[in-house]
Amino acid sequence: MANVRRGARTGRAALVRELARLEREARALEPGPGPRKQLRQAAHASAERFLGGLADRPAYDDRPDPGVGLAALPIGATGHALAEVLDLFEREVVAPGALPPHPAHLAYIPGGALYHGAVADYLAAVSNKYSGIFFSGPGAVRMENLVVRWAADLLGFPAEAGGGIASGGSLATLTALTAARDAHGLRGRDYEQAVVYLTAQTHHCVEKALRVAGMGEAKLRTIPLDDRFRMQPEALAAQLATDRAAGHRPWLVLATAGTTDTGAIDPLDAIATIAARERCWLHVDAAYGGFFLLTAHGRERLRGIGRADSVVLDPHKSLFLPWGAGMVLVRDREALLRSNAYHGSYMQDALREPGEISPADVSPELSRPFRALRIWLPLMLLGTGPFAAALEEKLLLARYFRREIAAAGFAVGPEPDLSIVTFRWAPEGMPLAEANALNQALVDALRHDGRVFLSSTMLEGRFTLRMAALSLRTHRKAVDLAVRVLGEAVGR
Ligand SMILES: *Cc1c(COP(=O)(O)O)cnc(C)c1O
């Protein structure tokens, strides 16, 4: 017994010594005020170098072997010097490829990287408030629900609506479609009879979500488009009737409020009427177009969006935030709870606490970044006014670009619903294949040049260029530059 006691004591002393050694060695993980300041100042200086020099950089930096230099400094047991590491980051990560916050980033759907959002991310990460469960982060959860409610009001959703902030539109879509599946009581054996209505312009994340949700066998019906790439409601109604008659199970109607290719908005009101009559779930993909609801033009164009069963909006697109925020809103939050609320015994303390709906109960995530702060802080500091003005500016920039590029001799697509313009260089009488090759060469040449970054798509067999004005720093100067560079490229 005495021996055991002595052994325990020496064992304890050794343990205490070992703990002290490890604490010393791990101390680097807890920098004091001095090292924190050094780190922060170096990061701040890097950010200022980036922002200060942004307009002088190419919008697309086309270089051989982009980023491979990263491997020059290996991850090892000891760290590298701060200046050396930040230099590597700037050279190998910041420089190559596209710069979404660049004024002349007019490709795909640009991102904005609103600085207020970046600062909010910093604060969210430092406090690391847990926003999954109300018990743990009551303020963080209330903030998320408040931001969700703000977006629900923007859509015109009722008080029973619910939702959350996911990493982006794709995950938000997955959440919406699983809610739609469970709300309609669809089980594995039903999938082959379940019918989904979409168009050729529906974003691919929808099909991906169906497959990830295990519903890859569902029948997809591609509804014809009108001459402005919008779903034809009469064709939708006819297809629904055909499927009903055949004994299938019409389930999900997918409308897009701002397609990625052309920015077209499907006729939401007419589609909502048909979906309601057919008792189908109506999902509206407003990942790109949603926050144009802050403008009068957007509210008019998006009329009917509030009749949807679920909507996806991407604050990292039309609220100009850094990547990492996609919102899902569901008209009846019970549908989200039905799909997502689970409880483990390790959460029993949390469950005793009444309060608000916890994000973990309406999404597939449990631990997650505190995303609400990056939306709330900018809105609190700036109000919605500057966002509305910036979005209205992008709408007008698209109209302006379309006039200018048409005047420069380019063939232009339809008057834009939102802030994307399609166009191509197609001189009178040039055969389609030749025109397609020419436009392919044009977009490649522009990317090599780098002053402006545009992307392309295929529309009805035509290789088509797109100008998407959505980066928050895109103003008339960048659009004028695009017109000039395009003119030079075709020898005008
Ligand atoms: C960008 C986009 C998506 C996908 O959203 P992510 O945030 O990129 O995952 C879905 N639909 C539309 C219309 C989009 O523009």
- Is 170 touching ligand 1 by the criterion CB < 6 Å? yes
Number of H helices, E strands in the chain: 17, 13
Q: Residue 342: which pLDDT band, with cuts at 50, 70 and 90?
A: confident
Ligand 1 contacts CB of residue 256 (under 6 A): yes
109 Cβ below 6 A of ligand 1: yes
What's the 294 CA to ligand 1 centre distance in angstroms?
19
Ligand 1 proximity of 419 Cβ (cutoff 6 Å)? no
**What's the pTM?**
0.96
- Looking from the CA of residue 203, the nearest atom of ligand 1 is 11
Report the pLDDT averaged over residues 181-207.
Answer: 97
pLDDT at 233 over 80: yes
CB neighbour list of residue 201: distance below 8 Å, 6 or more residues apart: 225, 229, 256, 259, 260, 261, 262, 264
Q: Evaluate: CB of 326 within 6 angstroms of ligand 1.
A: yes
Q: How many CA atoms lie within 13 A of 51 on its CB side?
A: 12
Contacts of 10 (CB under 8 A, 6+ apart): none
- For 63-113, the pLDDT digits (tens) are 999 999 999 999 999 999 999 999 999 999 999 999 999 999 999 999 989
Burial class (CB in 10 A: 0-12, 13-18, 19+), 118: middle
What angle separates helix 233-245 from helix 268-277, to the nearest 10 degrees? 20
Question: How many whole angstroms separate alpha carbon 357 and alpha carbon 417?
Answer: 36
Whether the pLDDT of residue 318 is over 60: the answer is: yes
pLDDT of amino acid 7: 65
Atom of ligand 1 nearest to the CA of 170: 9
Using CA positions, which residue lies closest to atom 12 of ligand 1?
287
pLDDT bracket for residue 356 (50, 70, 90) = confident
Ligand 1, pocket-test mutation among 109, 201, 204, 205, most atoms within 8 A of CB = 205
pLDDT band per the 50, 70, 90 thresholds, residue 350: low
Atom of ligand 1 at shortest distance to CA of 323?
7
The runs of H, that is alpha helices, within 352-458 are 372-382, 385-407, 432-449
What is the rounded average pLDDT of the residues 176-190?
97
Confirm if 360 and 132 have CB atoms less than 8 A apart. Answer: yes
Q: Across all residues in the chain, what is the average pLDDT?
A: 95
Report how far residue 223's alpha carbon sits from residue 237's, in angstroms, rounded to the nearest whole number: 10
CB 252 within 8 A of CB 215: no
Predicted confidence (pLDDT) at residue 349 exceeds the cutoff of 80 = no
Please check the confidence at residue 352 and state whether its pLDDT lies above 60. Answer: no
Q: What residue owns the CA closest to ligand 1's atom 5? A: 169
Q: Which tens digits make up the pLDDT trace of 427-438?
A: 999 999 999 999
- Banded model confidence at residue 252, pLDDT cuts 50, 70, 90: very high
Give per-residue pLDDT as tens, 286-316. Answer: 999 999 999 999 999 999 999 999 999 999 9
Among 177, 208, 212, 260, the mutation site with the greatest number of ligand 1 atoms within 8 A of its Cβ is 260
Calculate what percentage of the chain has a pLDDT beyond 90. Answer: 94
Q: Which ligand 1 atom sits closest to the C-alpha of 172?
A: 9
> What percent of the chain is modeled with pLDDT above 70?
97
**pLDDT computed for residue 492 by the predictor:** 77
Query: What mean pLDDT do residues 332-351 have?
Result: 83
Q: What is the pLDDT of residues 109-150, one digit of tens each?
A: 999 899 999 999 999 999 999 999 999 999 999 999 999 999
Please tell me the distance between residue 288's alpha carbon and the centre of ligand 1 in angstroms: 7
Establish whether residue 205 lines the binding site of ligand 1, counting it when its CB lies within 6 angstroms of any ligand atom. yes
Q: Is the model's pLDDT at 329 over the cut of 90?
A: yes
- Residue 353, pLDDT > 70, answer no
pLDDT single digits (tens) 40-49: 999 999 999 9
Ligand 1 center from residue 49 Cα (angstroms): 30
- Residue 169: name the closest of 286, 291, 256 by CA: 286
For residue 348, is pLDDT > 80? no
Task: Tell me what pLDDT residue 202 has.
Answer: 98
Q: What is the Å distance from ligand 1's center to 259 Cα?
A: 9
22 C-alpha to ligand 1 centroid (Å):
46
For residue 455, what pLDDT is reported? Answer: 97
Instruction: Say what the pLDDT of residue 3 is.
Output: 59
Q: Please say if the pLDDT value at position 466 is more than 60.
A: yes
State residue 10's pLDDT score: 75
What's at 409, amino acid-wise? G
Sequence-separated contacts (24+) of 296-300 with Cβ below 8 Å: 297/392, 297/395, 298/391, 298/395, 298/418
Instruction: Tell me if 288 CB under 6 Å of ligand 1.
Output: yes
Q: What pLDDT, on the 0 to 100 scale, is given for residue 346?
A: 76
Whether 51 and 443 have beta carbons less than 8 Å apart is answered as no
Give residue 209 CA to ligand 1 midpoint distance, Å.
12
153, 295, 319, 346 from 391: Cα distances, Å? 19, 7, 9, 45
